[in-house]
Chains A and B, each alone.
Chain A
Amino acid sequence: MKFTVQWRSIALLGLALTASACGNAFQAGTPPGFVELPDQEEYDYRATNADGLVLAVRELEHEPKGELSFWTKAIEKQLRERAGYALLGTRDVKAKTGEPGKQLRFGHDQGRTPYLYYVTLFATDDKLFVIEAGGTKALMERHAAQIDWTVANFEID
């Protein structure tokens, strides 16, 4: 009996450790009208609405260490100079848990259709959190409140 309890405790501890190792260090709220997509490989979280507006979060190891301004600039340069996006503006944001972040708003013409792509970045000592939102300009403008809600309700553990 004693043996069984001991093994059960070890198994639970192992499960807890495994869950801790594989889990995310953030909690992203899925806004109304969106569904979270399961089994994501490139993203740690991804959700979409029926129209095709997509929200996603990447959690990255903060290595090498850099300030928020460095990563913001790195993203801006990458998207403007290499990927052909136009920077429409930047704004300061704050996570629900109080961490300061930066949101970069990009535009991109796909044929005759304009698209908007928002990248929001939070940096902690250990992690970088990149929240992405993208879709046609009309869609993004129509669902601006949901995007803002996602950022404002983003929690970092």
Chain B
Amino acid sequence: MNLWIHCMPRGRVWLTCLGWLVLIWCTGCAGAKQSEAAAARAPGAAPMPQAAYGGEAALYADDAQEEVAADSDRRTAQAPAAGVPGRAPPVAPPASGNEGTAASGSLPARDPKTLAAPLLIYSANLQLAVFEAPQALDRAEQLAKEAGGYLVRRDDRTIVVRVPAAGFHGLLDRMLGLGDVLHRNVSVRDVTEEFYDLQIRIRNAELVRERLEQLLQRAQKVEEALAVERELERVAGEVERLKGRMKLLSELLAFSTITLEFQPRAVQHVESSVNLPFPWLQQLGLGPLLSL
């Protein structure tokens, strides 16, 4: 090193030293900036990505891969329990808490066909002809509670209950035994794509929110700060909206809805059948008997 200095012209040596000093100073400033930013950050705020000023695409891409892998593992673990009544109860998917904060907005698109098990929402509408509807309503409510469900709504003729998805089919069979089935409609809605799409959108929105928070900290002018705050408010609202939707979806996946409508037995609801040619049969009934 000394030899190298001695070999150089005097002016060149000074120039080199100045260059080193500038370089050291710049490095110090950058460190101080990072320390200041960390100190100014609100308690509980998400940590700023280390490479926020450079190479972030590469960083996020790595995170994204990790996230996809973790998510894939999670789905595999959940797969047998994913909203398929009759198999096992679906594990209510996380309502996208902070898991997405480190993920990228450039997650690779997931193909629902590759998922281990679909996320299905089951619901049923039954119309039953019964004798004494109030008792049938009581029985239906009791059956739902025994199956771990709960009452949503009940009036004179109709009852709506929600039951754990795993017990849906068993309970449905028992409900069908409460009366003569006039109408039965069981519907299944596949929300796999919507569910994972929501997860991605929540992650993306949270990332944008995080980025906006960082921008807000670095804003130099009041106008800039106000503009960022407006955008931050909009994005925060979007995150909450998406999380609400995700929560609803998780709830619908975990619990199936059964709507029962009880009707008094009436001629118009019964399918026509062979009319036996014995007139006295038609004369049977309470009407003639009680008309004294």
Contacts from A to B (Cβ < 8 Å): 37, 42, 46, 48, 52, 54, 56, 58, 60, 74-75, 77-86, 88, 107-110, 114-115, 117, 119, 130, 132, 134-135
User: Mind listing 23 A-B residue pairs with CB under 8 Å?
Assistant: A48-B292, A52-B290, A58-B280, A60-B280, A74-B276, A78-B282, A79-B284, A80-B265, A80-B270, A83-B284, A84-B267, A86-B265, A88-B131, A109-B133, A109-B264, A109-B265, A115-B286, A117-B285, A130-B280, A132-B284, A132-B289, A134-B289, A135-B290
CB closest residue in chain A, given B263: A109
Q: For the complex, give the distance between the alpha carbons of A10 and B286 in Å.
A: 45
Minimum CB–CB distance from A64 to chain B (whole Å) comes to: 9
Knowing A52-B290, A84-B266, A114-B131, the reply to whether A77 touches B280 (Cβ < 8 A) is no
Which of chain A's residues have a CB closer than 8 A to the CB of B265?
Answer: 80, 84-86, 108-109
Contacts from B to A (Cβ < 8 Å): 129-133, 179-180, 264-267, 270-271, 273, 275-276, 278, 280-286, 288-290, 292
A83, B131: Cβ atoms closer than 8 Å: no
Which of chain B's residues have a CB closer than 8 A to the CB of A132?
Answer: 284, 289
Q: For the complex, give the distance between the alpha carbons of A81 and B278 in Å.
A: 15
Can you add 7 more A-B contacts, CB < 8 Å, to A74-B276, A81-B273? A42-B283, A46-B292, A74-B281, A78-B282, A86-B180, A107-B132, A132-B289
Chain A at the B interface: SS class: strand
B289, A54: Cβ atoms closer than 8 Å: yes
Which of chain A's residues have a CB closer than 8 A to the CB of B275?
Answer: 82
Q: For the complex, give the distance between the alpha carbons of A75 and B285 in Å.
A: 10
Taking a contact as CB atoms closer than 8 A, the residue among A56, A58, A74, A83 that contacts B267 in the complex is A83
Q: For the complex, give the distance between the alpha carbons of A83 and B129 in Å.
A: 13
Q: For the complex, give the distance between the alpha carbons of A42 and B275 in Å.
A: 21
A83, B280: Cβ atoms closer than 8 Å: no
Knowing A84-B265, A109-B133, A114-B131, the reply to whether A78 touches B290 (Cβ < 8 A) is no
Q: For the complex, give the distance between the alpha carbons of A4 and B249 in Å.
A: 102
A81, B289: Cβ atoms closer than 8 Å: no
Q: For the complex, give the distance between the alpha carbons of A134 and B129 in Å.
A: 21
A77, B273: Cβ atoms closer than 8 Å: yes
CB closest residue in chain A, given B282: A78
Which of chain A's residues have a CB closer than 8 A to the CB of B285?
Answer: 79, 83, 85, 117
Minimum CB–CB distance from A52 to chain B (whole Å) comes to: 7
Minimum CB–CB distance from B51 to chain A (whole Å) comes to: 74
B292, A54: Cβ atoms closer than 8 Å: yes
Knowing A78-B284, A117-B289, the reply to whether A108 touches B131 (Cβ < 8 A) is yes
Which of chain B's residues have a CB closer than 8 A to the CB of A52?
Answer: 290
CB closest residue in chain B, given A74: B276
CB closest residue in chain B, given A133: B289
The 4 closest A-B pairs by CB, nearest first: A86-B131, A107-B131, A109-B264, A84-B265
Which of chain A's residues have a CB closer than 8 A to the CB of B133?
Answer: 109
A78, B130: Cβ atoms closer than 8 Å: no
Taking a contact as CB atoms closer than 8 A, the residue among A74, A110, A115 that contacts B278 in the complex is A74
Q: For the complex, give the distance between the alpha carbons of A67 and B270 in Å.
A: 27
Q: For the complex, give the distance between the alpha carbons of A146 and B286 in Å.
A: 18
